[in-house]
Structure 1
């Protein structure tokens, strides 16, 4: 599909060169279409960026909301949130990096909407952490700092994960859940027998060769 091909080309170039340094002709060349056809499918370059970021943030929100619906226990909810965040980020490395770092490239007309989506997603973590602290499941001196640390350490997976490395993705997801639990002084037994790891979704914008482009930076 031409739209998906354009989105994959955009993600590759935005992640590698940055949004500002990527031209319309480069996008068309990478997608194998001319500029007129490119405008037909995506409108402006910023429209393309917005569509990529919106799809990525919506998938994070949907997966996070599903994790919260799966249980009423804050520890299990947090485990689902962390594992889905790590999984989606790992298999959509370039898309996740574009969504994370190109918010600054958006115009005043588009930034509030996308920033609102990011805030909505991070609010899922805040909601779980606050309730978990209130009922005694979590123990931390600073909930806001804990939230930032948990989200940011998961986002960092986009810089080094690749399939075929030393560890399988589900093992990495569980490791990060364990790290979040240690940060919050959670009793490890709280997750005994709980299946909170679900296969993440590959977004249409993610280039098929994204992993090979970042393989040299893999730590595992």
Structure 2
């Protein structure tokens, strides 16, 4: 065994269960980005993580359970980040800017996970898909409320709140298809540009 492999195994033995789960999710997400969710197998994931398949099954019973954890981590993070800003009394314009920033940050730091979030969530088992769909609808409703509140306050002009919400999501989400960390703009700069485009369209 090489010194590097020995060090990696030693570090892994010191990980908590949550840390190990997080590592598996990260590696699996990168593999899904490379091979596609449908093509990547649990064998592939175990090999990429550097653990035996029985160990992998100790943490995740199936590939669909891995997909479920990836989805939950992202949607829960989006909801929690948004609610934290709401609780601080953030104005509608900055709330909407935060929504765009959250999407771009996730795409920059969790590209593979975002890909399966956007492309593969419908492959979840029916019971999990129902929960996932409900959470996505809840988050969409929160963003619609921001637009509605901005209109009521006179910050935004009258628009179809659902249509504008979908436009924001489409513009921000699609970035996972083309964003590269070594590109001309950082994800923060892209988020600022997207916000500028959106806000110009919303100004009274």
Q: How many residues align?
A: 186
Deviations 1:144-171 (A, max 9, x none): 1110010111112222223342223322
Aligned residue number for residue 128 of structure 1: 146
Aligned residue number for residue 6 of structure 2: none
Question: 8 Å contact 1:129–1:138 — kept in the other structure?
Answer: yes
Query: Structure 2 vs 1, CA of residues 97 and 109 (structure 1 numbering), >3 Å: closer, same or farther?
Result: same
1:61 aligns with 2:79: yes
Deviations 1:73-124 (A, max 9, x none): 2222222222222222222221111111111110112101111221222222
Displacement of 1:140: 4.1
Displacement of 1:67: 2.6
CA distance in 2: counterparts of 1:174 and 1:46, whole angstroms:
35
Displacement of 1:72: 4.5
Aligned counterpart in structure 1 of residue 28 of structure 2, from 4, 10, 21:
10
Aligned residue number for residue 160 of structure 1: 178
Aligned residue number for residue 41 of structure 1: 59
Give unmatched runs, 5+ long, in structure 2. 1-14
Tell me the TM-score normalized by structure 2.
0.82
Secondary structure, in 3 states, of the residue corresponding to 2:126?
Answer: coil
Secondary structure, in 3 states, of the residue corresponding to 2:76?
Answer: helix
Give unmatched runs, 5+ long, in structure 1. 187-220
CA distance in 1: counterparts of 2:181 and 2:54, whole angstroms:
37
Aligned residue number for residue 100 of structure 1: 118
More helix by share: 2
Query: Structure 2 vs 1, CA of residues 56 and 72 (structure 1 numbering), >3 Å: closer, same or farther?
Result: closer
1:169 aligns with 2:187: yes
Question: 8 Å contact 1:57–1:118 — kept in the other structure?
Answer: yes
Aligned counterpart in structure 1 of residue 130 of structure 2, from 95, 109, 112:
112
CA distance in 1: counterparts of 2:49 and 2:77, whole angstroms:
24
Question: 8 Å contact 2:79–2:139 — kept in the other structure?
Answer: yes
Correspondence 1:124-203 to 2 at 5 A = 124-185=142-203
